[in-house]
Amino acid sequence: MVEEKKGCESEAGVTLIFPCSGAADVGEISDRAARRMTAAGIGKMFCLAGIGGNISDMIESAKSADKVLAIDGCSLDCARKTLEDKSIDGFNHLRVTDTGLEKGKSPATGERVTAVAEAGRRLLN
C-alpha cells in the first residue's frame, strides 16, 4: 500500500511526478499511479504537457524540484524524452511495461495502479 505523508514538500524538498498519461492502458496506469502518489503525499503530479508546450515557469519549477519522477507507460518513453528535451536532468524514471505489464493487455485495475505507485515510491526513497 502507498504510504501516507503530508504534502510533497518533505525534509528533502519538493517532489514532482510526471506521468505520460498516454492513450494506452499502460498510460492510464501511469496517470492513475501519479494521482495516487499525489493523494498519498509522496509528491505532486505535474503537467507534462506544460513542459512539452515550453511553458517557462513550469520548466523552471521542474528544474528546481529536489526530486522528479517520470512515469512512462511504454518503451516510447514520452515523459522521459520530454523532460530531457527541456534539459531537466537527474530525474528518476519508471516504465510501466518494465513492471511486467503489457501494453494493450493490461487494463487499469486498482491492483496494477497500486503496484506502479509503490514502484514509484521506492524509486523516490
78: how many CB neighbours lie within 10 A of its CB? Answer: 20
Cα separation, 15 vs 53, in Å, equals 21
Cα separation, 37 vs 83, in Å, equals 19
pLDDT digits (tens, 9 = 90+) for 5-54: 444 444 459 999 999 999 999 999 999 999 999 999 999 999 999 999 99
Complete domains list, the chain, with CATH: 13-124 (3.40.50)
- Residue 91: predicted pLDDT: 98
